[in-house]
């Protein structure tokens, strides 16, 4: 019988930090995992400001370091606060997150394309000054 239950719920033990367990064990455990997520998010924020403001990282590498810290920050938020796991109940959350990322990417790509097109088609300043005379 236990094999049958395991087949129905193969990810029964897969819970995100802060999720309530089916056996009703501890709100304290959920609060503790939120505090861990908060500490990690705050630590990554402080690290980002430190990397950006100090000379600890070679200046051309600072944007790459900040991107890495931002991705780590997103990972902390996805796991500890949005509770997205590999379980079957997270499928809708993952699809919503993927759709949101797609929309943000399309907005950024479109904005960059429009700005590049406008920059290419604008008149140069010396030519504009000649036309005003």
Statement to judge: residues 49 and 27 lie in one domain:
yes
pTM of the model: 0.61
Q: Are residues 128 and 63 in the same domain?
A: no
Low-confidence ranges of the chain (pLDDT < 50): 1-5
User: Who contacts 15 (Cβ-Cβ below 8 Å, separation ≥6)?
Assistant: 21, 85, 87
- On whether the CB atoms of residues 36 and 17 are closer than 8 A, the answer is yes
CB 18 within 8 A of CB 33: yes
Do both 93 and 80 map to the same domain?
no
pLDDT at residue 46, rounded to an integer: 97
Q: Are residues 33 and 65 in the same domain?
A: yes
Residues 76 and 20 in one domain: yes
CA distance 99 to 92: 10
Is 131 found in the same domain as 100? Answer: yes
- CA 15, distance to chain mean position in Å, is 20
Q: Are residue 5 and residue 51 in the same domain, yes or no? A: yes
**R_g of the chain computed on alpha carbons:** 24
∠ Cα 129 132 133 (to 5°) = 95
pLDDT (0 to 100) of residue 2: 46
Count structural domains, the chain.
2
**Residue span of the structural domain in which 114 resides:** 88-133
Find, among 16, 6, 4, the residue nearest to 89 by Cα: 16
Residues with Cβ within 8 Å of 90's Cβ and at least 6 positions away in sequence, in order, are 16, 83, 84
Query: What is the spatial distance between Cα 20 and Cα 42, in angstroms, rounded to a whole number?
Result: 24
| Shared domain check, 106 and 72 | no
* 59 and 3 within one domain: yes
pLDDT, residue 25, reads: 61
- What digits encode the pLDDT tens for the residues 74-102? 999 998 998 888 777 788 888 888 999 99
Q: Are residues 42 and 75 in the same domain?
A: yes
Domain identity same for 70 and 133: no
Shared domain check, 124 and 104:
yes
């Amino acid at each position: 019988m236990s094999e049958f239950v395991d087949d129905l719920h193969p990810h029964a033990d897969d819970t995100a930090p802060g999720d309530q367990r089916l056996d009703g064990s501890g709100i304290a455990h959920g609060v503790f995992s939120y505090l861990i997520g908060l500490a990690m998010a705050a630590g990554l924020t402080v690290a980002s400001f430190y990397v950006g403001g100090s000379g600890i990282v070679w200046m051309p590498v600072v944007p790459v370091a900040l991107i890495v810290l931002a991705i780590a920050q997103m990972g902390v938020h996805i796991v500890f606060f949005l509770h997205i796991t590999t379980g079957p109940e997270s499928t809708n959350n993952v699809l919503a997150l993927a759709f949101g990322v797609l929309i943000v990417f399309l907005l950024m790509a479109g904005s960059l394309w429009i700005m590049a097109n406008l920059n290419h088609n604008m008149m140069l300043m010396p030519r504009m000054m000649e036309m005003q005379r």
